[in-house]
Amino acid sequence: MAKPVVKKEYTLGERIYLLEILKGMALTWRHFVFNVKASFRPEPHTVPTCWQYPEDRTREISPIFRGLHMLCLDEKGREKCIACGTCAKTCPAHCITVKKGKRKEGEEDKYASKMYCASFDIDLLHCIFCGFCQEACPKEAIVLGREFELAQYTREECHLDKQKLLANYRKAKEEGKLRPPRKAVPVVKPPPKPEAGAPKTTEGKAGKPAVAGKAKKGQVEVKKAAEKAKGAGKAESGD
């Protein structure tokens, strides 16, 4: 396993070191001058690429940033969550625990549905912020917000219970940092159903992916209606 011997071929300019070094120095000098000039600009953005983070919070964070979780309320201020537990099942880190509760008489202004979550716990130390819970949620109740400063001193503080989740929502609403509603991606339309009486083929079985996926580009039609898209959102949202 002898190593190949490499012949070094240099041009004269490369051989004498200094020429290329001077060129490089000219380049760093240009950067230096530019940045020195820039550093005399008014605060907070002196040098264009630097954010003076704890003081300077002007950096725009994506509205769909996957940060701290929250439990959403609907327009009437009722809890959206129906305690179906899809989020807990979907979570790859198994960090969500949901307990069901049944709505009693006179609590209609508190909970949107007959079922509600008696407790909703998220262990932030386990969470990997993949966003699967919000994608799986049929009611868009659990949502990942824009809050990203999650360091705490104790383990207890890293544990989100229902009250904290609701408080996160109220805080985000106050600051106008609510996540825009999720746009479901358009899904390939299922192929037309076989005519009645025709021999039953595998195509008939709805959702058999091996066939459904074979729809060619030309045949593809798109679901436009929002309800349909929402339904698709359910279908796609994994197991």
Partner 1 sequence: MEGWVIAIIKVVFIWAWVLLIATVMTWVERRGAAMMQDRLGPNRAGPFGLFQPLADGIKLFTKEEVLPKKAHKVLWSLGPLLFALPAFSAYAVMPFGDKIVLGGKEIILQVSNVNIGFLYILAIGSLAVYGIVLGGWGSNNKFSILGGLRSTAQLISYEVPLGLALLAIVFVYGTFSLRDIALAQQGTFLGFLPNWGIFKQPLGFILFMVAIYAEANRVPFDLPEAESEIVAGYHTEYGSMELGLYLFGEYVNLVTLSSLIVVLYFGAWHIPYIDVSKFLGPVSWGIVSFLIFYLKVSFFLWLFVWVRWTIPRFRYDQVMGLGWKALIPLALFNLFITALFIQLAA
Partner 2 sequence: MNQDPVSQNDQERLGELVTINIGPSHPAMHGTLRVVTVTDGETIVKAEPEIGYLHRGVEKLGESLTYHQFIPITDRLNYCSAITNNVSYEMAVEKLMGIEVPEKAQLVRVIMMELARIADHEVCVGILGVDLGAFTPFFYLIIQREEIYEIFEWYNGARLTNTFGRIGGLDADLPDDFEERWRELKPNLRKANEETEKLLTHNRIWMDRTIGVSAFSPEDALNWGFTGPCLRACGVKRDLRKDETYCMYDQFDFEVPVGKNGDVFDRYKVRMIEMEESIKIIDQAYKLYKEMPADAPLKARVPKVIKPPVGEVYSALESPNGELGFFVRSDGSNKAYRIKIRPPCYMIYQAFNDLVKGEMIADLIACISSLNVVAGELDR
Residues forming the site for partner 2 (CB under 8 A): 1, 3-6, 8, 10, 13-17, 20-21, 23-24, 27-28, 49, 61-62, 64-66, 90-92, 128-132, 135, 144, 183, 185-190, 207-210, 212-215, 217, 220, 222, 224, 232, 234-239
Residue whose CB is less far from partner 2, 5 or 156: 5
CB nearer to partner 1: give 31 or 114: 31
| Residue whose CB is less far from partner 2, 77 or 238 | 238
Amino acid at 102: K
C-beta closer to partner 1: residue 35 or 97: 35
Up-side HSE of residue 226: CA atoms within 13 Å toward CB?
Answer: 3
- Smaller CB distance to partner 1: residue 16 or 118? 16
Least separation, in Å, of the C-beta of 59 and partner 2? Answer: 10
Question: Which residues, numbered 7-26, are part of the site for partner 1 (CB under 8 A)?
Answer: 18, 21, 24-25
- Which of the listed partners (partner 2, partner 1, none) does 39 bind, with a CB threshold of 5 to 8 Å by partner kind? partner 1
- Nearer to partner 2 by C-beta: 101 or 124? 124
Q: What are the CA-CA distances from residue 133 to residues 19, 91, 152, 159 (Å)?
A: 58, 6, 23, 17
User: Which of partner 1, partner 2, none does residue 85 bind (CB under 5 to 8 Å by kind)?
Assistant: none
> What b-and-e string marks burial along 104-141, b requiring 16 or more CB atoms within 10 Å of the CB?
eeeeeeebbbeebbeebbbebeebebebbbbbbbeebb
CA angle 175, 147, 177 (to 5 degrees): 30
- Nearest distance from C-beta of residue 25 to partner 1, angstroms: 5
Smallest distance, partner 1 to C-beta of residue 30, A: 9
Q: Label residue 161 left, alpha or beta by phi (over 0 means left) and psi (-120 to 50 means alpha).
A: beta
Of 12, 2, 30, 123, residue with least CA distance to 69: 123
Site for partner 1 in 35-74 (CB under 8 A): 35-36, 39, 46-50, 52
**What's the CA gap between 186 and 221, in Å, rounded?**
10
Helix (H) or strand (E) holding 112, with range, is none
Beta strands 115-123 and 96-102: pairing type?
antiparallel
Smallest separation (angstroms) from partner 2 to the CB of 214 = 6
Report the C-alpha gap between 69 and 122 in whole angstroms.
8
Which of 79, 193, 66, 77 is closest to 135 using CA atoms? 66
Residues that bind partner 1 (CB under 8 A): 18, 21, 24-25, 27-29, 31-32, 35-36, 39, 46-50, 52
